[in-house]
Structure 1
């Protein structure tokens, strides 16, 4: 896969990278732009910054969808600028104890609204899910949402074991998907992979609901690990990660 900018709507772009099939967002307004996620390190961030300059010369603001390295470790290449993220994202990045890691300086708890060159762009946190600091970026005039890893693309529309980390709150994830759906966007960008639609999110929510039911039954002693794995809608390694079976 050769990275390129795909036009999603007027002034709204996505760029996919072969590393982890990462998807980056860009929103261009009148005299300003917003970069959504920054890749995995300063070198990759610099590549992205140069790629943004292929599209627009406007000064940028950065928004981070969450603290995981592949999304948030390239910030230094964009400084000085405003960097928006959830307050827990700042906490998690500061705890990495990496002196060269740039931290966000504009923090939200639930919601924030940005003016990107006359375009209204909303940032929203719908509670702990994939991480405890997931933020979605909504561009209402284009009916586009950059959902970060709240939406996990892995053919045929399932999850990977890496979707469920020690910082994942399985029980909160369906409600976060409901939050994304409530925005009413027609185009939804996962943190990895191509655009998806509302039906894709509904299918992911159904998988999560089934995993939550299995997790509850497992914790209550109603099923054992083998039975939970057998009844799971996803592969064994994904089930083990989601249900924290080791």
Structure 2
């Protein structure tokens, strides 16, 4: 079933957030900032179809003669980056460290070939088809940022100040947050995956870590004084929602550390945490395979496996726990 653009939320004074209509892999939030002198995106959707839909919605909100000419990429995962190709002349801004994750992930065409060419009778093939089959990267070239920075970057867009801050490795190597001080709003990227009682989200998936760095990144978001937080995925949050998310991250970290100390292998540790059902409303619990695996690597110094092996483990656990088809906890 084709995926369509969800809600475009007006945050005031030319700032908008696009919130996809459902949860799941690849459905990331994006931002639009508009002034009479220009416009920018904060992240780009996953594939050209979604990005084209977001561009059409953005264009409706632009003054005459203004185009979207910048994209700030909160991190290099494709669901926040690959759709930037619909803006071929735009400046694409990312951290220098993001280059490392760009080379870790498959290219868009490699991922398209993997999804469409996998055997749907296997757990991995079924999982990829279920969660990524609606996206189309068959004609998507691997884009690269045009501007890299380290530390802090401050931009001015008309009357808006845009403060961009790079982070130590957390969700990926190369994360950043975007603070709009006049709007008291932060776009956090995937250091925050949001969930509320009315709008449950998914379990986060963290490729780099350690989780202490993810928690520190959330604390940096709170330290801005922002009242509205646009997470990488899920509904808008207030500071209390971020604090609740920190509690989730601390719980996963503490369980991973306890199981590691007890000599439990990483994959079995993820299975055990899933079975504990501490957060039953969250979807995609199999993503704990990635996050707990990342935490274990910081504890024991093991090497990062290839993304295909990681996803094979994710799919196997989803198959075992009955979440492969629904994306919901069993």
Q: Give TM class, smaller chain.
A: 0.7 to 0.9
Q: 1:211 to 1:189 in 2, by over 3 A?
A: same
* C-alpha contact (below 8 Å) 2:100/2:173 kept by paired residues: no
SS in 2 for 1:191: strand
After superposing the two structures, state which structure 1 stretch, 85-94 or 152-161, moved more: 152-161
Match of 1:84 among 79, 84, 93: 93
| Structure 1 residue 5 displacement after superposition | 2.4
Aligned to 2:195: 154
Q: Deviations over 1:162-213 (max 9, x none)?
A: x224434323111010111111111111122221100011111112112222
Q: 1:237 to 1:44 in 2, by over 3 A?
A: closer
Is 1:201–2:247 an aligned residue pair?
A: no
Is 1:187–2:193 an aligned residue pair?
A: no
* C-alpha contact (below 8 Å) 1:229/1:240 kept by paired residues: no
Aligned to 1:113: 154
SS in 2 for 1:148: strand
* C-alpha contact (below 8 Å) 2:184/2:226 kept by paired residues: yes
Q: Where do 1:164-243 residues align within 5 Å?
A: 164-221=205-262, 225=269, 233-235=278-280, 237=286, 239-243=288-292
Aligned to 1:72: 81
Q: 1:133 to 1:206 in 2, by over 3 A?
A: same
Aligned to 2:29: 23
Q: 1:42 to 1:139 in 2, by over 3 A?
A: same
Aligned to 2:51: 45
Q: Deviations over 1:80-121 (max 9, x none)?
A: 121111222234335544581211111122221111123210
After superposing the two structures, state which structure 1 stretch, 220-229 or 32-41, moved more: 220-229
SS in 1 for 2:192: coil
Q: 1:105 to 1:94 in 2, by over 3 A?
A: farther
Aligned to 2:306: none
Match of 1:101 among 142, 145, 155: 142
Is 1:144–2:193 an aligned residue pair?
A: no
After superposing the two structures, state which structure 1 stretch, 141-150 or 229-238, moved more: 229-238
Aligned to 2:62: 56
2:290, 2:101 → 1: CA distance?
21
After superposing the two structures, state which structure 1 stretch, 229-238 or 63-72, moved more: 229-238
2:288, 2:80 → 1: CA distance?
24
Aligned to 1:32: 38
* C-alpha contact (below 8 Å) 2:5/2:54 kept by paired residues: no
Is 1:14–2:59 an aligned residue pair?
A: no
List alignment gaps of at least 5 residues for structure 1. Answer: none
Q: 1:141 to 1:69 in 2, by over 3 A?
A: same
* C-alpha contact (below 8 Å) 2:194/2:245 kept by paired residues: no
After superposing the two structures, state which structure 1 stretch, 138-147 or 81-90, moved more: 81-90
Q: Aligned pairs, how many?
A: 245
- TM-score, scaled to structure 1: 0.86
2:7, 2:196 → 1: CA distance?
21
Q: 1:231 to 1:119 in 2, by over 3 A?
A: same
